[in-house]
């Protein structure tokens, strides 16, 4: 069920260039059901900035009623979020949207992420591993400075890193790594920039895949029609990234 709650900051730290890890605690955390869902955060009690910020959830700890978000502090809103300190409270609305279906994977899954699309794959990897699914992680970043959670992913399975400038791992995009890897997996999950999602979709037309999309949002709950995309289902039909997604089966969204 969607809740709005002032959640308490229990951890806030910078983990890479402009990348922050923020853990909050509160009853809302117990509503988290699927990896890939997101929350909508009001970063200030004033009306400047006005709109909430959609932030993805990187890991969930139901026992402690906590969840962790990883975000890039680049604009005014996320900049203010990065200033939140231990003990501060944050207005959180969530959980929102539909996440990755973990039951879809059978034996082995590829998790393919780019930049700030990497965080939700971490909770996904944890939950898939808990079900006995082998996960292979292919993660792309701008440069070595921007890489985060590499070791955490390695603890859960085979992990490959690509950086655009080649300062760490393979030089190039995640697709460069995918070209070298076997195709002995049954399901793939991907989150990142839309061109990356497109490329992944093209790479595995015969495989079962789930893609998490990004779109500018207004309300975050499906009322404002800001984040709609066309769908392959019909010419007049549409989907809302915030409430129908952000995760869709491959082949559904026309981007």
Partner 1 sequence: MSDLTVKLPGLNLKNPIMPASGCFGFGKEYAQLYDLSQLGAIMIKATTVETRFGNPTPRVAETASGMLNAIGLQNPGLEKVTEQELPWLEQYDVPIIANVAGTTTEDYVEVAKMISQSPNVHALEINISCPNVKQGGITFGTDPDVARELTRAVKEVSAVPVYIKLSPNVTNIVSIAKAVEEGGADGITMINTLLGMRMDTKTGRPIIANITGGLSGPAIKPVALRMVYEVSQHTKLPIIGMGGVTNVDDVIDFLSAGASAVAVGTANFVNPFVCPEIIGQLPERLHELGFDSVEQLVGRSHRL
Bind-site residues: 53-56, 70-72, 77-78, 219, 224, 227, 242
Task: CB nearer to partner 1: give 96 or 124.
Answer: 96
Q: Identify which of 154, 156, 102 has the alpha carbon closest to the alpha carbon of residue 131.
A: 102
Position 98 contacts partner 1 (CB under 8 A): no
**Would you list which residues are annotated within the binding site for FAD?**
53-56, 70-72, 77-78
Distance (Å, whole) CA 168 – CA 176: 14
Identify the residue among 42, 126, 137, 160 touching partner 1 (CB under 8 A).
42
List the beta bridge partners of residue 54. Answer: 40
State in angstroms the smallest separation of the CB of 1 from partner 1.
Answer: 7
Task: CB nearer to partner 1: give 124 or 217.
Answer: 217
Alpha-helical runs (H) found in 47-111? 76-82
Site string for partner 1, 68-97 (x = CB under 8 A): ---------x---------------x----
Single out the segment in contact with partner 1 by CB under 8 A; choices: 103-111, 127-135, 169-177, 214-222: 214-222
Distance (Å, whole) CA 240 – CA 77: 23
Position 218 contacts partner 1 (CB under 8 A): yes
Handedness of CA 3, 4, 6, 10 (dihedral sign): positive
Identify the residue among 73, 164, 228, 252 touching partner 1 (CB under 8 A).
228
The first and second tokens of residue 38, run together, are 């997101």
Name residues contacting partner 1, limited to 142-161 (CB under 8 A): none
Pick left, alpha or beta for residue 227 (phi over 0 → left; psi -120 to 50 → alpha; otherwise beta).
alpha
DSSP string spanning 37-60?
A: -EEEEE--SSSSS-S-EEEEEEEE
Length in residues, the chain: 255
Residues at the contact surface with partner 1, assessed by CB under 8 A: 1-2, 4, 42, 47-52, 77, 93, 215-230, 236, 238, 243
């Amino acid at each position: 069920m969607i809740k709005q709650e002032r959640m308490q900051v229990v951890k806030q730290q910078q983990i890479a260039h402009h990348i922050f890890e923020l853990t909050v605690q509160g009853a809302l955390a117990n509503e988290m059901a699927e990896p890939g869902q997101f929350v909508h955060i009001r970063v200030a009690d004033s009306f400047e900035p006005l709109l909430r910020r959609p932030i993805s959830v990187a890991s969930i700890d139901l026992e402690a009623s906590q969840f962790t978000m990883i975000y890039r502090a680049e604009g005014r809103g996320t900049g203010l979020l990065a200033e939140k300190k231990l003990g501060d409270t944050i207005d959180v609305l969530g959980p929102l949207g539909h996440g990755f279906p973990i039951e879809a994977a059978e034996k082995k899954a590829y998790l393919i992420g780019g930049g700030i699309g990497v965080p939700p794959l971490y909770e996904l990897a944890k939950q898939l591993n808990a079900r006995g699914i082998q996960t292979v992680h292919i993660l792309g970043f701008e440069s070595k400075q921007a890489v985060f959670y590499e070791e955490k992913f390695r603890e859960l399975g085979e992990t490959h890193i690509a950086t655009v400038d080649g300062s760490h791992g393979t030089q190039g995009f995640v697709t460069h790594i995918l070209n070298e890897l076997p195709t002995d997996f049954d399901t793939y999950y991907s989150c990142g920039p839309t061109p990356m999602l497109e490329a992944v979709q093209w790479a595995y037309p015969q495989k079962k895949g789930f893609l998490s999309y990004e779109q500018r949002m207004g309300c975050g709950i499906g009322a404002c029609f800001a984040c709609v995309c066309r769908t392959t289902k019909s010419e007049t039909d549409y989907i809302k990234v915030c409430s129908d997604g952000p995760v869709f089966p491959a082949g559904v969204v026309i981007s």
